[in-house]
Amino acid sequence: MSKLTHTDDKGNAIMVDVSSKPPVQRYAKAEGFIRLQESTCALIKENEIKKGDVLTVAEIAGIQAAKHTANLIPLCHPLQLNMISVKANLQHDGVLITAMVKCNGNTGVEMEALTAVNVALLTVYDMCKAVDKEMEMSRIHLLEKTKQPL
């Protein structure tokens, strides 16, 4: 039988214990892309999508998502985040989302950066679904992860 989660000595499912790790400055950067029709990109550029300013709403959604990562992914540790930056860049064939997250803690912030990217992409999808039936999210990946002593 495979082991599905980390368990204590009594077999109870637990999050990984990071209490013995020293707090350090943590940083992660992730990105993802949503391919759109050129006509959809033009509507976004002219701010003519009925639901509103797609790029700004996607950025705010990504920030909110990073703050709620531990509520969405069961075994993620809740973290006190020091900085979240989400940028939605309109390109000729879609939107590139880049998220950066920092904290001072004893576990990394890559899941927060990846969650920010995914939710920002989903927000673009939601806001454009009425005008574009061919959208495709892809290239979601971690670009960088660092830790430095405080």
Residue 71 lies in a domain: yes
What does the mean pLDDT of the chain come to?
Answer: 94
The candidate with the shortest Cα–Cα distance to 142, out of 105, 108, 113, is 113
Mean pLDDT value across residues 69-96: 97
Helix (H, G, I), strand (E, B) or coil at 10: coil
State pTM to two decimals. 0.93
- At 7 the pLDDT is 74
Assess whether pLDDT exceeds 60 at residue 3: no
Residue 13 lies in a domain: no
Residue 11 lies in a domain: no
pLDDT tens digits for range 108-132: 999 999 999 999 999 999 999 999 9
Dihedral pair phi/psi, residue 44, rounded to 5°? -65, -45
Residue 108 lies in a domain: yes
To 5 degrees, how large is the angle CA 100–CA 103–CA 109? 60
Mean pLDDT value across residues 12-34: 92
Give me the number of domains the chain comprises.
1
Which of the following is catalytic: 17, 93, 126, 132? 126
Residue 91 lies in a domain: yes
Known catalytic membership, residue 126: yes
Mean pLDDT value across residues 33-46: 98
Write the CATH number for 70. Answer: 3.30.70.640
Q: Please, which residues have CB within 8 angstroms of residue 61's CB and are 6 or more apart in sequence?
A: 119, 120, 122, 123
Q: How far apart are CA 29 and CA 47, in angstroms?
A: 28
Cα dihedral 101, 104, 108, 112 sign: negative
